[in-house]
């Protein structure tokens, strides 16, 4: 019997956008089970609360499965508010998946991976470079453009767009 390769893709996902979804789809080729871990991260002052962010992520994961893009990888979403390596252990994973958009992301991510490795040497971090069509997308820009009445329909799924529109009062 083969050993299940489980990974965790953590983030605030406020909101989840096409760059996140690209990383998720590509990660399904690397692991048998992928837990998308929605972080509390109150320091970022999220637009959507944890419950809403978790529901939005779940809806996007459901769409990936419905479209046949999960590559037989089991996808699940879970909120978390613990140390990442503790969460990774708790869900039985051994890999953290992180997306990199630009060189500017690398320094922070490198430090985080090094700290995680020191705390939990059995957990590996895999970096996936953003595809060229998604390198410029960030949740911060999506929220700001939406708040100012700009069109973010090419950055997020339809259901996320609906929630952004409702939250901005547009």
Residues marked as catalytic: 20, 44, 101, 139
3-state SS assignment for residue 136: coil
Strand order in the sheet with 6-11: 74-80, 33-39, 6-11, 95-100, 124-129
Beta strands in the chain (DSSP E): 6-11, 33-39, 74-80, 95-100, 124-129
> Would you mind telling me the total number of residues written for the chain in this entry?
170
Measure the CA–CA gap between 25 and 63, rounded to whole angstroms.
11
How many C-alpha atoms does 46 have within 13 Å on its Cβ side?
A: 18
Sort strands 33-39 and 74-80 into parallel, antiparallel or unpaired: parallel
């Amino acid at each position: 019997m083969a050993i299940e390769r489980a990974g965790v893709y953590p983030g605030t996902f406020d909101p989840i956008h096409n760059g996140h979804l690209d990383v998720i789809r590509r990660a399904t080729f690397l692991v048998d089970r992928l837990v998308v871990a929605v972080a509390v991260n109150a320091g970022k002052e999220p637009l959507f609360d944890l419950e809403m962010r978790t529901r939005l992520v779940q809806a996007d994961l459901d769409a990936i499965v419905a479209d046949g893009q999960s590559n037989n990888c089991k996808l699940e979403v879970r909120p978390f508010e613990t140390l990442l390596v503790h969460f990774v252990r708790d869900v039985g994973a051994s890999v953290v998946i992180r997306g990199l958009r630009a060189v500017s992301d690398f320094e922070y991510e490198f430090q985080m991976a090094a700290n995680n490795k020191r705390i939990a040497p059995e957990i590996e971090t895999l970096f996936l470079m953003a595809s060229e069509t998604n390198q410029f997308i960030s949740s911060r820009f999506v929220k700001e453009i939406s708040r100012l009445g700009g069109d973010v329909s090419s950055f997020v799924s339809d259901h996320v767009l609906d929630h952004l529109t409702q939250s901005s009062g547009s």
